[in-house]
C-alpha cells in the first residue's frame, strides 16, 4: 500500500482548495487530493460572479446589510463583516493571477444580482467560475511545492483518537482510494484542509456536479466535528428545464439585468413575482424559489418561464454568451423566447463548524468553502457570496497554518482490507443511491412537513444500516464511499430540519409557518467527541 508525507493535505480542487494550495506552496509541501480532475467541481460552474464593494456609490455597510437580510437573521455579524471587508483584496489577488474579468471603461464591469442593493458583482461574462478555475488550475500545475493527486477519493480522516493515542484529539492524515490502482493510499500531514464542497447530489435535481456528495462534511462528522445549519439547503430558482439537460444553471444575473418570471401561456403567460414580494425578480433566492414552487403546484406546471428577450441580441451576446449558446444548442433562442426554468438544489449553507481561521473542532483539521459552516450565509446565501467565502477563508486558513508550529505526526497504519471481498450485488448501491435522492427531493425539499421529515428519517435509518453492512464487508469503491457520505449528510439535514420549529430562509415548514424568536443556529454534536 502506498503512503505519502506532506506538510499540508488539501482535499478538494475547487476555488477554496486551489487558492489555499497557491498561498501555502512557497513555504509548505502541499498535496491537492481530488476525486476527479482539477477542473471538476462546483466552482467551475459558477456563472454570476464574486461580490465585492468596489464602486464609489457602494459601501461595506450596504453589502453587510444585504447579506444579513438574505440570511433571515441567522448570519454571524463578525463573520459577515470579516468576509465583506476582505473582499476587495481577494479580487485583487485573482487579478494578479490573471483571471480575465469583464471590463468596462478601463475598470471592472460590475453587475447586480438578486438581494443586492448595488452593482457589486465582479464577473467574467456569464462564466466566472470557469474563468477563475481555469486560471488557478494552470498556475497550480506550474507551481513547485504542489503535488496533485487526481482520481483519489477520500475514505476517512485519521485521528489520534482512532489510533488509540492519548492527549488532545487531532487529525494526522487520511485514507484515500486511488482509482488507477484500485488500492487505498495513506496520506500523513500535521495539517489537513477540507475543501470538498457541498452535498447537492443528495437531491434528485441539482445544479451541482457528480462530485458534490458531502464527503468532507460526513468525514468530519465521523471524526468528531460538530456541524451547523444543515437544514438550510439553497434551491436555485432557475435551473434550466429541458429533457436533454441535466444540471445547467440560468444565472441570477439574468434577473439582475431585467429578466422576468412568467407563467407559461397555458397558465395565462403573466408575470407573477410582484404578487409574492415587492422586490419581484430581485428578491433573494429562497423567496423566488418558493414563489416558483407555489405557482407550479397551483397550476400543475412542470416549469415556469424566464424571459430576457426584451433585451437586444447584442446585449445578450455580450453579457450572457454561454447561456445563449447553451440554450441555442437545445433549440431555445433566448433573444426571441423565454427560457423554461425550475428550482433545483444548488448550495449547502450549513456544514462543518469553523472559526474565522477555518479551524474545526479537531486540531489539525480546517474546512474552507461550501463544506464549512462559518456563519456567513445564515438561513439563505446571498448571491455571489460563495466564491467570495472560498477566497477569504482560504487566505485566513493559510495564515493560521503559516503561523502555527506543526505538531509531529505519528506513524500511520496502512489500510487493512484483508477481510473484505468484492461486492456480489453492486446493483444495490445504485438502487439505494436513487432511492435516497428521490425521497430527499419529495420529503425534504423546498416545502417541508413533520410527516414528510419522519418518513425521510425512517428510510434513512434503513439505508444507513444496509450501507454500513456493505462498507464493513466489501472492498470500497467510489460509488460506495459517495453513497455512504450522502446518506450521512441526508441524516444530518433531516435531523436539523426536525429541530427547527419555525419557517426561516430556506427552511419552510407547513407545520411551523411563522418565524420564531430569538434566531439561533442549529448545531449537531456527533456521538464521538
pLDDT single digits (tens) 321-363: 999 999 999 999 999 999 999 999 999 999 999 999 999 999 9
DSSP one-letter string for 41-110: SSGGG--S-EE---STT--HHHHHHHHHHHTTT-S-HHHHHHHHHTHHHHHHHHHHHT----EETTEE-E
CB distance 45 to 212 below 8 Å: no
Total H helices, total E strands in the chain:
14, 24
| 186 bridge partner residues | 3, 175
Question: Dihedral angle at the C-alpha atoms of 127, 133, 136, 140, nearest 10 degrees?
Answer: -160
| 453 bridge partner residues | none
Q: Mean pLDDT for the chain?
A: 93
Can you tell me the distance from the alpha carbon of 42 to that of 248, in angstroms, rounded to the nearest whole number?
12
DSSP E strand boundaries for 336-401? 339-348, 351-353, 365-367, 372-373
- The whole-number average pLDDT for the span 208-215 is 92
- The whole-number average pLDDT for the span 53-61 is 96
Can you tell me the distance from the alpha carbon of 486 to that of 484, in angstroms, rounded to the nearest whole number?
6
What local confidence, expressed as pLDDT, does residue 30 receive?
98
Can you tell me the distance from the alpha carbon of 250 to that of 289, in angstroms, rounded to the nearest whole number?
13
| Most confident by average pLDDT, 125-139, 210-224, 277-291, 420-434 | 210-224
Q: Which three cell numbers stand for residue 94?
A: 485573482
Strands 103-104 and 50-51 come out as: unpaired
Can you tell me the distance from the alpha carbon of 167 to that of 102, in angstroms, rounded to the nearest whole number?
52
Q: Which residue has the higher pLDDT, 410 or 195?
A: 195
SS3 389: helix
Residue with cell 470579516: 82
Q: Which three cell numbers stand for residue 1?
A: 500500500
Can you tell me the distance from the alpha carbon of 190 to that of 205, in angstroms, rounded to the nearest whole number?
38
Q: Poorest-confidence range of 64-68, 368-372, 463-467?
A: 463-467
Angle CA(210)–CA(214)–CA(219) in degrees, nearest 5? 135
pLDDT single digits (tens) 468-500: 888 888 888 999 999 999 999 999 999 999 999
Can you tell me the distance from the alpha carbon of 132 to that of 350, in angstroms, rounded to the nearest whole number?
24
Above 80 in pLDDT, residue 1?
no
CA 439 to chain centre: 21
Q: Poorest-confidence range of 11-20, 99-108, 350-359?
A: 99-108
- The whole-number average pLDDT for the span 254-262 is 95
What local confidence, expressed as pLDDT, does residue 425 receive?
59
Can you tell me the distance from the alpha carbon of 258 to that of 280, in angstroms, rounded to the nearest whole number?
11
What local confidence, expressed as pLDDT, does residue 419 receive?
66
Q: Cis bond leading into 518, ω under 30°?
A: yes
Contacts of 233 (CB under 8 A, 6+ apart): 200, 203, 345, 347, 348, 349, 493, 506
| Axis crossing angle, helix 450-473 with helix 427-443, rounded to the nearest 10 | 160
- The whole-number average pLDDT for the span 378-382 is 94
Q: Express as a percent the part of the chain with pLDDT over 70.
A: 98
What local confidence, expressed as pLDDT, does residue 88 receive?
97
Q: At 263, is the pLDDT very low, low, confident or very high (cuts 50, 70, 90)?
A: very high
Catalytic residues, which ones?
285
Can you tell me the distance from the alpha carbon of 387 to that of 133, in angstroms, rounded to the nearest whole number?
11
What local confidence, expressed as pLDDT, does residue 442 receive?
86
Backbone angles phi, psi at 78, to 5 degrees: -65, -40
CB distance 114 to 255 below 8 Å: yes
Q: Which three cell numbers stand for residue 72?
A: 433571515
What local confidence, expressed as pLDDT, does residue 406 receive?
79
Q: Which three cell numbers stand for residue 227?
A: 456541524
CB distance 463 to 487 below 8 Å: yes
Can you tell me the distance from the alpha carbon of 464 to that of 252, in angstroms, rounded to the nearest whole number?
36
pLDDT single digits (tens) 418-457: 666 665 556 778 888 899 998 998 899 999 999 999 999 9
Amino acid at each position: 500500500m502506498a503512503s505519502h508525507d506532506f506538510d499540508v493535505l488539501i482535499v478538494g480542487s475547487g476555488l477554496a482548495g486551489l487558492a489555499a494550495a497557491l498561498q501555502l506552496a512557497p513555504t509548505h509541501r502541499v498535496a491537492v487530493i481530488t476525486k476527479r480532475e482539477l477542473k471538476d467541481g462546483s466552482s467551475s460552474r459558477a456563472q454570476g460572479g464574486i461580490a465585492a464593494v468596489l464602486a464609489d456609490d457602494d459601501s461595506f455597510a450596504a453589502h453587510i446589510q444585504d447579506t444579513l437580510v438574505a440570511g433571515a437573521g441567522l448570519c454571524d455579524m463578525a463573520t459577515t463583516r470579516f468576509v465583506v471587508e476582505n473582499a476587495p483584496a481577494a479580487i485583487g489577488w485573482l487579478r494578479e493571477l490573471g483571471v480575465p474579468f469583464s471590463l468596462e471603461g478601463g475598470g471592472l464591469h460590475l453587475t447586480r444580482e438578486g438581494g443586492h442593493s448595488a452593482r457589486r458583482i465582479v464577473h467574467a461574462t456569464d462564466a466566472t467560475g470557469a474563468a477563475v478555475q481555469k486560471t488557478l488550475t494552470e498556475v497550480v500545475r506550474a507551481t513547485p511545492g504542489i503535488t496533485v493527486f487526481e482520481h483519489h477519493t477520500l475514505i476517512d480522516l485519521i485521528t489520534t483518537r482512532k489510533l488509540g493515542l492519548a492527549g488532545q484529539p487531532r487529525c494526522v492524515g487520511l485514507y484515500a482510494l486511488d482509482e488507477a490502482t484500485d488500492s487505498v493510499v495513506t496520506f500523513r500531514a500535521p495539517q489537513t484542509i477540507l475543501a470538498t464542497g457541498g452535498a447537492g447530489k443528495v437531491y434528485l435535481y441539482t445544479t451541482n456536479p457528480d462530485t458534490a456528495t458531502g464527503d468532507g462534511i460526513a468525514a468530519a462528522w465521523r471524526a468528531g466535528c460538530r456541524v451547523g445549519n444543515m437544514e438550510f439547503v439553497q434551491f436555485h430558482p432557475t435551473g434550466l428545464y429541458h429533457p436533454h439537460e441535466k444540471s445547467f444553471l440560468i444565472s441570477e444575473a439574468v434577473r439582475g439585468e431585467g429578466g422576468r418570471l412568467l407563467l407559461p401561456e397555458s397558465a395565462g403567460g403573466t408575470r407573477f413575482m410582484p404578487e409574492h414580494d415587492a422586490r419581484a425578480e430581485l428578491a433573494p433566492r429562497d423567496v423566488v424559489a418558493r414563489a416558483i414552487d407555489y405557482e407550479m403546484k397551483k397550476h400543475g406546471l412542470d416549469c415556469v418561464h424566464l424571459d430576457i428577450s426584451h433585451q437586444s441580441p447584442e446585449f445578450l451576446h455580450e453579457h450572457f454568451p454561454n447561456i445563449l449558446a447553451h440554450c441555442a444548442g437545445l433549440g431555445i433562442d433566448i433573444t426571441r423566447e423565454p427560457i423554461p426554468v425550475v428550482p433545483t438544489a444548488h448550495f449547502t449553507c450549513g456544514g462543518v463548524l469553523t472559526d474565522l481561521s477555518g479551524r474545526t473542532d479537531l486540531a489539525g483539521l480546517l474546512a474552507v468553502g461550501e463544506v464549512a459552516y462559518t456563519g456567513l450565509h445564515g438561513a439563505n446565501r446571498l448571491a455571489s457570496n460563495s466564491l467570495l467565502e472560498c477566497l477569504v477563508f482560504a487566505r485566513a486558513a493559510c495564515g493560521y497554518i503559516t503561523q502555527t508550529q506543526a505538531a509531529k505526526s505519528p506513524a500511520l497504519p496502512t489500510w487493512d482490507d484483508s477481510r473484505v471481498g468484492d461486492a456480489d450485488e453492486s446493483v444495490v448501491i445504485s438502487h439505494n443511491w436513487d432511492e435516497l435522492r428521490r425521497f430527499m427531493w419529495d420529503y425534504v425539499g423546498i416545502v417541508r412537513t413533520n410527516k414528510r421529515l419522519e418518513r425521510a428519517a425512517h428510510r434513512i435509518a434503513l439505508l444507513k444500516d444496509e450501507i454500513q453492512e456493505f462498507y464493513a464487508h466489501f472492498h470500497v469503491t467510489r460509488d460506495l464511499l459517495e453513497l455512504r457520505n450522502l446518506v450521512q449528510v441526508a441524516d444530518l439535514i433531516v435531523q436539523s430540519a426536525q429541530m427547527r420549529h419555525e419557517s426561516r430562509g430556506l427552511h419552510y415548514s407547513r407545520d411551523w409557518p411563522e418565524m420564531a424568536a430569538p434566531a439561533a443556529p442549529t448545531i449537531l454534536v456527533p456521538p464521538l467527541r
